[in-house]
Amino acid sequence: MTELHFRSASDLGRIIRRRELSSVELTGHYISRIEKLDGKTNAVIARDFDRAMTLAKEADEAFARDEIKGPLHGLP
């Protein structure tokens, strides 16, 4: 699979809807990249990672109930 961070939002949405990747996994991927790469740049000034993971878990739970709220549902 192409590096996730180079995929388009619509492509990532399809991957999540097909359950090839969970919202929690994708959110964790982006959190890891921010923590690894953002030190000197400081592009992400408001890091609310706990809330991001909570929302990702809620999105995954909604998918489990077949409650998909649109093509970008579950994206961080």
pLDDT in tens, 13-26: 999 999 999 999 99
**1, pLDDT greater than 60:** no
Calculate the alpha carbon distances from 43 to 9, 48, 66, 75 in Å. Answer: 20, 14, 35, 19
Query: Can you state the angle between helices 9-17 and 23-37, rounded to 10 degrees?
Result: 140
CA angle 63, 68, 69 (to 5 degrees): 135
pLDDT at res. 45: 84
List the domain boundaries for the chain: 30-65
